[in-house]
Amino acid sequence: MKRIVYSILALLSLGVTSCSDFLDTVPHDQLSPATTWKNADEVDKFLVTCYQGWGNLYTNVLYMDAASDIAYNNFSWEGGQMMGNGLWTATSPGNSLYDFWQISACNNVVDNIDKAKISDDKVKNNLLGQALAIRAFTYMNMNFWYGGVPIIEHQYQNAEAAKVPRNTEAEVWDYFDKDIDRAITLLNDRPAARGRIAKGAALAIKMRAHLYRGNWQKAADAAQEIIALGQYELDPNYAKIFTLEGKNSKEIIVGEDHEKSKHSLYTIGQFYNNGDGGWSSVVPTQHLVEIYPMEDGLPQEDSPLYDATHPFNKRDPRMAMSILYPGCDYWGGVYNTLDKVINGKNNTNFPEAADNASKTGLTWAKYTAPLKQYDDMWSADPYVILFRYAEVLLTRAEALNELNGPSTEVYNLIDQLRTRVGMPAVDRTRYATKDALREVIHRERTVELAGEGFRRADIVRWKDTSGQMLAMKVLNETLTRISGTIDMNAATAPGLRCTVSGNRIKIEDRLFKPTFRYFPIPQSAIDRNPKLKQNDGY
**pLDDT digit string (tens) for 172-213?**
999 999 999 999 999 999 999 999 999 999 999 999 999 999
pLDDT, greater one: 346 or 3:
346
User: Which SS3 state, helix, strand or coil, does residue 362 take?
Assistant: coil
DSSP-assigned states of every residue in 237-277: -TGGGGSGGGTT-TTEEEEEE--TTTS-BGGGGGGS-GGGT
- Please report the sign of the dihedral spanned by the C-alpha atoms of residue 216, residue 69, residue 534, residue 162: negative
Q: Is the pLDDT of residue 340 over 60?
A: yes
List C-alpha distances in Å: 174 to 137, 205, 224, 264, 535: 13, 14, 22, 36, 21
The pLDDT assigned to 261 comes to 78
Q: Is the pLDDT of residue 491 over 80?
A: yes
The pLDDT assigned to 24 comes to 41
Torsions phi, psi of 229, nearest 5? -65, -25
Pairwise CA distance, residues 215 & 208, whole Å: 10
Banded pLDDT at 260 (limits 50, 70, 90): confident
304 class by beta-carbon count within 10 Å (0-12 exposed, 13-18 middle, 19+ buried): exposed
User: Which SS3 state, helix, strand or coil, does residue 294 take?
Assistant: strand
CB proximity list for 150: less than 8 A, separation 6 or greater: 23, 26, 164, 165, 166, 167, 532
Pairwise CA distance, residues 268 & 281, whole Å: 10
The pLDDT assigned to 94 comes to 67
The pLDDT assigned to 338 comes to 98
User: Which SS3 state, helix, strand or coil, does residue 306 take?
Assistant: coil
Q: Is the pLDDT of residue 473 over 90?
A: yes
Of 149-158, 277-286, 446-455, 490-499, which gets the smallest average pLDDT? 149-158
The pLDDT assigned to 18 comes to 35
Pairwise CA distance, residues 384 & 406, whole Å: 33
The pLDDT assigned to 35 comes to 59
Neighbours of 533 (CB within 10 A): 11
How many Cα atoms are found within 13 Å in the side-chain-facing hemisphere of 257?
A: 22
Pairwise CA distance, residues 81 & 91, whole Å: 15
The pLDDT assigned to 12 comes to 34
pLDDT above 90 covers what percent of the chain? 88
Banded pLDDT at 93 (limits 50, 70, 90): low
The pLDDT assigned to 92 comes to 87
Q: Is the pLDDT of residue 26 over 70?
A: no
Peptide bond into 370 cis (omega under 30): yes
Average pLDDT rounded to a whole number, residues 66-91: 95
Q: Is the pLDDT of residue 363 over 60?
A: yes
Torsions phi, psi of 294, nearest 5? -85, 175
Pairwise CA distance, residues 81 & 509, whole Å: 11
First to last CA, the chain: 41
List C-alpha distances in Å: 173 to 110, 137, 181, 220, 535: 19, 11, 12, 18, 18
Secondary structure tally for the chain: helices H, strands E? 17, 14
The pLDDT assigned to 123 comes to 98
Torsions phi, psi of 48, nearest 5? -60, -35
pLDDT above 70 covers what percent of the chain? 93
Adjacent-strand bridge partners of 385: 255
Banded pLDDT at 30 (limits 50, 70, 90): very low
Residues 38, 39, 42, 43, Cα dihedral to 10° = 110
For residues 478 and 506, the answer to whether their CB atoms sit within 8 Å is: yes
Q: Is the pLDDT of residue 1 over 60?
A: no
Burial 35-58 (b: 16+ CB within 10 A, else e): ebbeebebbbbbbbbbbeebbbbb
For residues 426 and 418, the answer to whether their CB atoms sit within 8 Å is: yes
For residues 22 and 162, the answer to whether their CB atoms sit within 8 Å is: yes
Torsions phi, psi of 351, nearest 5? -50, -35
478 class by beta-carbon count within 10 Å (0-12 exposed, 13-18 middle, 19+ buried): exposed
Mean of the per-residue pLDDT values of the chain: 92
**pLDDT digit string (tens) for 399-434?**
999 999 999 999 999 999 999 999 999 999 999 999
